[in-house]
Amino acid sequence: MKTHVRFATVAALALFAALPARAQDDHKPGGLNKVAHDVSSTMKKAGRDTKGEIHRDASRTHNTLKDAGNDTKTVLKRTTGIHGSHNAHPGGLNKVAHDISNASKRGASDVKAEKNRVKAKGHAEATETGKDIKEAVKKP
């Protein structure tokens, strides 16, 4: 009787030990899905790297332009002795600086909008191409 109980206990423990190991087994994609997964991962990484580089360049450009604008404004204030008001409708040197700033902001906004349009169009084309390739590969 003790032999049967020991055998049953060992069998039960072996069964329970095998279950968690099987539950943790991750299923990885294979075949066409693996290729699509790898391409997608590569494209995502490249896109993120590109986006990060563009962001760093834009940040550097912004800081450079901001510093140049502030330095120019400081020099003009020292040279002319005119210091602007904090009025909602500025006049004099502040009005000129305000108008220049708004013009450059509008230009930058237009450039950013165009970049986003190009990016969206490229994404849509890449998506369509990927779907077409997938359909072509699926057909016998």
Assigned domain for 121 exists: yes
- pLDDT tens-digit readout, 14-70: 545 554 444 445 666 677 788 888 888 998 999 899 989 989 999 999 999 899 988
Sign of the torsion angle spanned by Cα atoms 45, 51, 54, 55: negative
Instruction: Report if residue 9 sits inside a domain.
Output: no
The total of structural domains in the chain comes to 1
User: What is the pLDDT, as a whole number, of residue 14?
Assistant: 53
Per-residue pLDDT tens digits for 4-17:
445 555 555 554 55
Decide if 117 is inside a domain: yes
Is residue 14 assigned to a domain? no
Mean pLDDT of 105-121: 89
Under DSSP, the state recorded for 40 is H
pLDDT digits (tens, 9 = 90+) for 73-94: 888 888 887 766 666 666 677 7
pTM for the whole thing?
0.40
DSSP per-residue string spanning 72-118: HHHHHHHHH-------SS--HHHHHHHHHHHHHHHHHHHHHHHHHHH
